[in-house]
Structure 1
Amino acid sequence: MTFLKSCFSLIAVLSLTVFISGCGKGEAIDHAEEYISSIDTMDIPDDVEVIGLGEATHGNVEFQELKQQVFETLVINEHVRVFVLEGDFGGGQQINNYILDGEGSADAAVNSLDYPIYKTQQMIDLVEWMYDYNKSVQDEEKIRFYGNDMQRYDYSKKNLLDYFAVVDKEAATKYSDQLKHVSNETMRDLTTKQLENVDKTIDHILQDLQANEAKYLEHSSADELAFATAYAQNMKQRTQLFLSEENYTNLRDQYLAENLQWIMKYEKERGNEKVFFSGHNGHVEKTSASPAGYKSMGNYLDEVYGTKYFAIGTDFINSEFQAKNDGSGNRKTFTVKNQHDLVDAFSEVKSNTFYVDFEKSRESEELSKILSSKQKMANIGDDFRSWYKLLKMFYTIEMVPDKAYDGLIIVKDATPTKVIE
């Protein structure tokens, strides 16, 4: 009987927790329409050099569609020509080759990222739009695509070895043999000793590229050498993540920031002054608010670029989203509700998706107070458990909106993506 009472008590507490955690206390404000805009009319300050778009989940159609919607707006209004995704650097170049030269297909290019979250119709549509756009403009106006993540080996390794096959066939054979056991499929099975040997091999490759620069430039362009070096560097970052598991999350965001800076520097030399980045909210926001205690990519960018970094977050009120279930790798659809003062303030806006301009919103005393106070904002990764819904701390991060972001896109009702197998 005591056991049953305890069970009923626990159920009651959890039920109350679910009820409380899903309830917002905020109220809709008057004249909310004055502080919002549609995505295609959102305003970005002229001196901004990098625009970050976060996504509250990786598994909603609307957040994936926003990648294209926001980027199209930036291409038209801000003359942005560079798209950077929280995706594999080497695989990203497969997408770049497709949108510039028509190599392969949009489906194959998206699959090269080797991230299930991107194997969606929305991502294929984005890549197809980029391809079609590039066919309609002159070379200097063409869009470039990059990934700035380093969690894969295959395409960076392939592209690096392809470079050596052109500039030094003997070196290509040697490095191919030394890296033969390194792949996306086998990388998680590598022992510490093997990883240390991989790390040493990559160091030798980086030294080789630097020491033989003049020789290699006789058989390749400066751009090709720069990318070969970047492929090797991304492989080293991947290896270092495995060798530093206790610091994985912090190191990854540091590398994300470093790779984005490399892309920005490279593209500036081509005349492209502005770059767009799309990734999870946790990477875009500026305050490192995650309770996991790591420094976010957005925090690094804020330190380096200051007001030249413009961060746009996303949030929802209701979300039915897809994510991996219980660490099994199987995907499932979950439903959560998230309310806090900021989204509640705009709850009576008729549009389902709209941009909240923080600068304009500060003209409202009511909104200014909300923006400068902590809010539990949506933050869901690609792994979710059903019991996470019991406490908001498992699917939100408490942060001060106008310190973390410069603007916010709210999706009132978000629907799930479907991963294409």
Structure 2
Amino acid sequence: MTLLKNGISLIAVISFTVFISGCGKGEPIDNAEEYISTVDTMDIPDDVEVIGLGEATHGNVEFQELKQQVFETVVKRENVRVFVLEGDFGGGQQINNYILNGEGSAEAAVNSLDYSIYKTEQMVDLVEWMHEYNKSVNDDEKIRFYGNDMQRYDLSKKGLLDYFAVVDKEAANQYSDQLKHVSNETMRDLTTEQLEKVDETIDDILQDLQSNEAKYLEHSSSDEFAFATAYAQNMKQRTQLFLTEENYTHLRDQYLAENLQWIMGYEKERGNEKVFFSGHNGHVEKTSASPAGYKSMGNYLDEVFGTKYFAIGTDFINSKFQAKNGGSGNRKMFTVKNHNDLVDAFSEIEQNNFYVDFDKSLESDELSEIISSEQKMANIGDDFQTWYKVLKMFYTIEMVPDQAYDGVIIVKDASPTEVME
């Protein structure tokens, strides 16, 4: 009988917690339409060099569509020509080859990232748009595509070994043999000893490139040499993540920031002064607000670039999204409601999505107070479980909006993407 009572009490507590977690609904503000704009008319300060767009979930159509909508806007209004995605560096170059040279197809290029969150119709549409855009402009106006993530080996390894096959075939054969057991498929099965050996091999490769730069440049271009070095560096980062798993999230965001800065430096030499980055809210925001305790990529960028880094967050009121079910690898649909003072201030706006500029918001005493106060803002990765809805801490991050972002795009009702496996 006691067990039954305890069970009933537990259910009651959980039910009440679920109830209160969905409460706390804020009030709509008067004249809310005065403080919003459409995405295609959003204003970015002229001196900005890095524009970051976060996504509140990886599994909603609207957030994936915003990648294209916001990028089109900054291409037209800010002369941005560089798109950087929270995705594999080597795979990103497959997309770059497609949009510049028409090699393969948009779908094959997207699949090369080896990230299931991007195997969607929306991502294929984005890459196809880039391809078509590049066909319509001069060479100096063409878009370039990059991934700045380092969580894969295969295509960076291929790019590196292909380079050595041109400049030093003997070295290519040697490194190919030393790295033959290193792949996306096997990387999680490598022992610590094997990973340490891989790390030593990559150090040897980086030293080889540094010592023989002049020799290798006789048989290749400076661009090819630069990418060979970047491929090796990304492989080293991937290996270091495995060797220091207790520090994985912190190191990954540090590497994301370093890789983005490498891309910026490389593109500046080619006349492209501005870049656009798209990734999860947790990487874009400036305050490292995640309870996981890591320093966010956006925090690194804020320290380096200050006001030249412009961060745009996203949030929703209602979301039906898809994600991996509890790390099982199987995808499932989930539904979450999120209320905070910021999104609820605009709950009576007719449009489903719109941009809120925080500078403009300072003209409203109500909004100024809201954006400078802690809000529980949506933050959902590619892994979710139904019971996470019990507490908002499992699907939101508490942050001060105008410290974390320069503006936010609100989606009132977000619908799920469909992964093309």
- TM-score, L = length of structure 1: 1.00
Please give the alpha-carbon distance, in whole angstroms, between the structure 2 residues aligned to 1:62 and 1:89. Answer: 25
2:237 alignment partner, SS class? helix
Question: Aligned equivalents of 1:166 and 1:326: distance in 2?
Answer: 45
SS in 2 for 1:329: coil
d(CA) in 2 for partners of 1:409 and 1:336? 18
Paired position in structure 2 for 1:170: 170
Match of 1:144 in 2: 144
- What SS does structure 1 have at the residue aligned with 2:27? coil
CA distance in 2, matches of 1:118, 1:354: 23
- State the alpha-carbon separation in 1 of the partners of residues 36 and 28 from structure 2: 14
1:201-247 Cα deviation digits (max 9, x unpaired): 00000000000000000000001000000000000000000000000
Distance across 1 between alignment mates of 2:313 and 2:21: 21
Indicate if the aligned counterparts of 1:61 and 1:417 stay in contact, CA closer than 8 A: yes
Measure the CA separation in 2 of the matches of 1:25 and 1:382. 26
Map of 1:282 onto structure 2: 282
Q: Secondary structure at the match of 1:319?
A: strand
Amino acid at match of 2:417: T
Please say if 1:4 is aligned against 2:18: no
For 1:353-372, what aligned pairs fall within 5 Å after superposition?
353-372=353-372
Which residue number corresponds to residue 229 of structure 2?
229
> 2-side partners of 1:165 and 1:296: how far apart?
37
- The answer as to whether partners of 1:23 and 1:338 remain within 8 angstroms in 2 is no
1:62 aligned counterpart, secondary structure: helix
Report what 1:108 is aligned to. Answer: 108
Amino acid in the other structure paired with 1:155 = L
Task: Please name the residue that 2:95 is paired with.
Answer: 95
The residue that corresponds to 1:203 in the other structure is 203
Residue of structure 2 in register with 1:212 after alignment: 212
Pair 1:410-2:403 in alignment? no
Q: Which residue of 2 aligns with 1:391?
A: 391
Q: Which runs of 5+ in 2 are unaligned?
A: none
For 1:80-91, what aligned pairs fall within 5 Å after superposition?
A: 80-91=80-91
CA deviation map 1:112-162 (0-9, x unaligned): 000000000000000000000000000000000000000000000000000
Q: How far apart are the structure 1 equivalents of 2:332 and 2:227?
A: 38
Question: 2:29 corresponds to which residue?
Answer: 29
The match for 1:300 is 300
Aligned ranges 1:154-169 → 2 under 5 Å: 154-169=154-169
Residue 61 of structure 2 aligns with an amino acid whose one-letter code is V
Q: Which amino acid aligns with 1:323?
A: A
Post-superposition shift, 1:22? 1.1
Q: Deviations over 1:38-93 (max 9, x none)?
A: 00000000000000000000000000000000000000000000000000000000
Identical-pair percentage: 86
CA distances 1:88-112 after superposition (whole Å, capped 9, x unpaired): 0000000000000001111110000
CA shift for structure 1 position 25: 3.1
- Residue 346 of structure 2 aligns with an amino acid whose one-letter code is F
CA separation in 2, counterparts of 1:308 and 1:40?
A: 21
Q: Which aligned pairs between 1:50-129 and structure 2 lie closer than 5 A?
A: 50-129=50-129
Asked if structure 2 preserves the Cα contact closer than 8 Å seen for 1:99 and 1:131, the reply is: yes
Q: State the one-letter code of the partner of 2:252.
A: R
* Counterpart amino acid of residue 237 in structure 2: Q
Deviation string 1:349-394 (CA, Å, 9 cap, x unpaired) is: 0000000010000110110000100000000000001100000000
For 2:13 and 2:354, the matched residues in 1 are separated by: 36
Note the C-alpha offset of 1:24.
3.0
- Give me the whole-angstrom Cα distance separating, in 1, the residues matched to 2:100 and 2:184: 26
Which residue in 2 is equivalent to 1:47?
Answer: 47
Q: Distance in 2 between matches of 1:61 and 1:378?
A: 16
1:250 paired to 2:250: yes
SS at match of 1:289: coil
The corresponding residue for 2:331 is 331
Letter matched to residue 412 of structure 2: K
Q: Which amino acid aligns with 1:322?
A: Q
Q: How does 1:303-318 map to 2 (within 5 A)?
A: 303-318=303-318
Q: Write the distance in 1 (CA, Å) between the matches of 2:214 and 2:261.
A: 25
**Once the 2 structures are TM-superposed, how far is the Cα of residue 3 of structure 1 from its aligned partner?**
1.1
| Equivalent residue letter for 1:287 | T
